Amino acid sequence: MLKKLDKQKVKEEVNTVRFEGGKFCLDIAKLVIAGVIIAGVMKQDSDPIIIYSISVLLVTGLVVYGLRLINNSKLRR
């Protein structure tokens, strides 16, 4: 009986970590977007094509991974 309760608690904790990890990935994606906007305002000697292409790939990857983590957790608040 005790082992069954422990397994249930571990499953709940894993789902919580997945959900919070997904939210964290989405927050990082928002920060990357803000950083790109700030970099565009600063007008430094960097190539905008490289900055935008890397940021699009990074944001897309983070959003997909974050949503997948949230979807795989069974919390879905």
Q: Where are the alpha helices (DSSP H) in the chain?
A: 2-42, 48-72
pLDDT of residue 34: 94
Q: Is residue 57 part of a domain?
A: yes
Beta-carbon count within 10 A of 70 CB: 19
3-25 average pLDDT score? 87
59 belongs to a structural domain: yes
In a domain, 23, yes or no: no
pTM value is 0.81
| Residue 14 included in any domain | no
Position 55 scores a pLDDT of 93
What pLDDT, on the 0 to 100 scale, is given for residue 2?
54
Amino acid (one-letter) located at 27? D
Indicate whether 44 belongs to any domain.
Answer: yes
For 39-68, what is each residue's pLDDT tens digit? 888 877 778 888 889 999 999 999 999 999
CA angle 40, 45, 51 (to 5 degrees): 50
Instruction: Report which DSSP code applies to 15.
Output: H
Asked whether residue 8 is assigned to any structural domain, the reply reads no
Residue ranges making up the domain that contains 54: 32-77
For the chain, the domain total comes to 1
pLDDT digits (tens, 9 = 90+) for 15-38: 899 999 999 999 999 999 999 888
